Amino acid sequence: MNVLEVTSLEKKYKEKHAVKGVTFDLKKGNCTALIGPNGAGKTTTLNMLAGLITPTSGRFNTLENTRDIRSIIGYLPQYPSFFEWMTGMEYLTFSGEITGLSRKESKRRSEELINLVNLSEGENRRISHYSGGMKQRLGIAQSLIHQPELVILDEPVSALDPFGRREVLDLLNDLKEQTTILFSTHILNDAEQVCDDVLFLYNGELIEQGPLNDIKKRHHTSSLKLSFDDNASRYREVLREIPWIKQVKEKGESLIIEVEELKRDRMRLFTLISEGGWPVTKFESREQSLEDLFMKVMR
């Protein structure tokens, strides 16, 4: 069952075609990552869905078959702002009342969310004293205050340090049990940790979409990783001359080698290393990352 269906969504400005005929569905209970480099049109797409900007053309419908989806969504912008003189609890209670909850119900719901996003120690602290990670978790709590069917998060971890990013990613994993999530990111490793489905956006166009595992199968490549205790560049040029090796990429003191047939070519490579006495410290089959997949699809 789809929570949201988006059809031929476009946004044109005077000198820029920011979003070009984007079509996708969001399945109920799934976490979907909208992935693309900076300037791909991710924020424009989310802002249209959130009702902050008007599409040039296209439509989006919910289960209730309505264009205005604001009543069923929670939204967190890339750079959220708060009344920083308020405490976390005051801010959430105020947010709940704005959505139409009674003060009593808003207070009860705020207490639930404070525990959910692990802000109990800071609930009575002024927001101006919150860390970046705490503010993001508070923003996510605010987006959940009215129990929306869909939560839209624009780059929820991009401005955070590694510790804050880990906190928010763990929270998104927990939230998958409660609601449908659509979030944008250009940090592919983060998306891979929490998403079920992916939307690859590039230059305003969707170039690939679907369940992450299905996309990986469609674009599967066999690759091996060699780590050296010597200069890997010396061996990269040798490998590039071998016809059954499709591609060689250098990452630090390691080489990522794409081959035609994993089992056969792994044995060939073992022989080459042994006969040449190469200073290899680690030899492993390599799982294709989301970053590899995205770069392949873009090409």
- The answer to whether the beta carbons of residues 92 and 145 sit under 8 Å apart is yes
Going by pLDDT thresholds of 50, 70 and 90, the confidence category of residue 107 is: very high
- The answer to whether the beta carbons of residues 273 and 224 sit under 8 Å apart is no
Select from 1, 227, 182 the least CA-distant residue to 74: 182
- The answer to whether the beta carbons of residues 5 and 32 sit under 8 Å apart is no
User: What average pLDDT does range 228-240 have in this prediction?
Assistant: 82
User: What average pLDDT does range 267-276 have in this prediction?
Assistant: 85
**pTM of the predicted protein model:** 0.78
Residue 76 has pLDDT above 70, yes or no: yes
- The answer to whether the beta carbons of residues 19 and 10 sit under 8 Å apart is yes
User: What average pLDDT does range 43-50 have in this prediction?
Assistant: 91
**pLDDT tens digits, one per residue of 144-161:** 898 888 999 998 877 777
Residue 91 has pLDDT above 90, yes or no: yes
Report how far apart the first and last C-alpha atoms of the chain are (Å, whole number).
33
User: What is the chain's mean pLDDT, rounded?
Assistant: 85
Structure tokens at 288: 């294709």
Q: How far apart are CA 26 and CA 32, in angstroms?
A: 7
Percent of the chain exceeding pLDDT 70 equals 95
